[in-house]
Copies of this chain bind each other. A is one copy, B any other.
Amino acid sequence: MQNFIHPDMKDVTLDAVLYALADPARRAIVRALAADRACEGTGLSCNAAAPPDLPKATMSQHYAKLRAAGVVRATRKGVSVIHTLRCDEINAKFPGLLPAILGAVDV
């Protein structure tokens, strides 16, 4: 599985970010990571941030898409993979986007 590849911010497109955030499961993950950052800020394992009933293969694909889109960053820590939101970077490139999406009352 090797170490994770994260796109440089100059290669992160609005298209990919919106696509990544257009899925409710992925948005739930991003919300959890955002909440974690606001509190602990230590990052969360895949399982910790994903919706509880999500099959793990599906979960893993969602994380792969979030990483590829440049939305999250992953590092291995023991048997877990810890994810953090690339919050400041996204905010710098797409000002207001994350707040607008995370702030919305998701229906």
Contacts and interface: CB of A to CB of B under 8 A. Distances in A.
Copies in the complex: 2
Interface residues of A, number: 23
A104 interface: yes
Contacts of A96: 96, 99-100, 103
6 contacts: A15-B23, A15-B27, A15-B106, A19-B22, A94-B100, A96-B100
Given A14-B27, A100-B100, 10 more contacts: A13-B106, A13-B107, A15-B27, A18-B21, A18-B101, A93-B104, A96-B100, A96-B103, A97-B101, A97-B104
Interface of A: 12-15, 18-19, 21-24, 27, 93-97, 99-101, 103-104, 106-107
